[in-house]
């Protein structure tokens, strides 16, 4: 069977976050394209580059890379030319301009953006916190959170938690289900830390059906039923009013936009500046 999908490869000699963010920002402008994103971090030898490019040559591929090691940059360019694979260097043009600006060569040291300083360890701790207290796994962690997100299924609780954790914010999130009473631990969280998330019923119906399809399940189940979704939204609204917490509708917002609103509401954007 012919594979008509596009493959976008991200290659980095470090964590690869710079390449990921730039690439995803660009891909958001092509929302109608079906593509597979493949990320390769901490690539430090030519053999690994050869394997990645050889794999990419089997598909409709583009390789976006941020490598500061000259040997790797040359290897990627050479191999992509050999295999007729499109590639784009995200780092070298910027470094060259700064070398001209400062009048001296760049250090060309991988991972310079992520030095092992206090900020790095705070970020790691925040990410571990988000994973540990995701989806209401352990409500004991709510009192230690900077932000507690509430919402019914598919209101972007987990993506927001992970995004904010990379900003050094400790986030816990708790699902709301009509059949399950609101836990007492939520009532003990200071109101300025609580954020309610909601979505339009149409969008929820759409994303839940897609979620079921991805899991290989039928869309004709209560989870994606429109009346059920309206019931859940109504329940969540009642909870938010009872708690007196601000509510954000994520229906037409990117994760970055919603996260920015959360930081502003909680005052954490001041802390991060």
- Residue numbering of the annotated binding site for ADP: 151-158
DSSP 182: P
DSSP 183: P
Of 10, 123, 118, the closest CA to residue 63 belongs to 10
156 CB contacts (<8 Å, ≥6 apart)?
Answer: 197, 199, 250, 255, 258
Q: For the stretch 117-155, what's the b/e string if a residue is b when 16 or more beta carbons lie within 10 angstroms of its beta carbon?
A: eeeeeebeebbebbeebbebeebebbeebbbbbbbbbbb
For residue 239 the two structure tokens come to 């909870």
Would you list which residues are annotated within the binding site?
A: 151-158
For residue 137 the two structure tokens come to 């796994």
Sign of the CA dihedral running 9, 254, 217, 138: positive
187: helix, coil or strand? helix
């Amino acid at each position: 069977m012919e594979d008509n999908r596009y493959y976008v490869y991200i290659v980095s000699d470090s964590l690869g976050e710079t390449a990921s963010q730039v690439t995803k920002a660009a891909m958001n402008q092509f929302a109608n394209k079906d593509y597979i994103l493949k990320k390769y971090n901490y690539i430090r030898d030519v053999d690994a580059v050869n394997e990645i490019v050889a794999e990419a040559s089997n598909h409709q591929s583009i390789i976006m890379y941020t490598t500061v090691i000259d040997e790797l940059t040359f290897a990627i360019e050479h191999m992509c030319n050999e295999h007729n694979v499109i590639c784009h260097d995200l780092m070298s043009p910027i470094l060259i301009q700064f070398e001209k600006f400062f009048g001296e060569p760049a250090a060309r040291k991988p991972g310079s953006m992520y030095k092992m300083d206090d900020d790095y360890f705070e970020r790691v701790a925040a990410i571990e916190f988000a994973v540990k207290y995701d989806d209401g796994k352990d409500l004991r962690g709510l009192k230690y959170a900077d932000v507690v997100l509430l919402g019914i299924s598919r209101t972007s609780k987990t993506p927001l938690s992970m995004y904010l954790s990379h900003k050094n914010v400790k986030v816990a999130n708790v699902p709301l289900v009509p059949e399950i009473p609101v836990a007492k631990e939520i009532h003990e969280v200071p109101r300025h830390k609580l954020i309610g998330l909601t979505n339009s019923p149409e969008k929820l119906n759409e994303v839940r059906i897609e979620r079921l399809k991805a899991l290989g399940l039928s869309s004709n189940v209560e989870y994606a039923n429109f009346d059920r979704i309206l019931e859940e939204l109504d329940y969540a609204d009642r909870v938010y009013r009872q708690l007196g917490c601000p509510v954000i509708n994520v229906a037409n917002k990117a994760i970055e936009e919603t996260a920015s609103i959360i930081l502003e509401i909680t005052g954490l954007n001041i802390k991060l500046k």
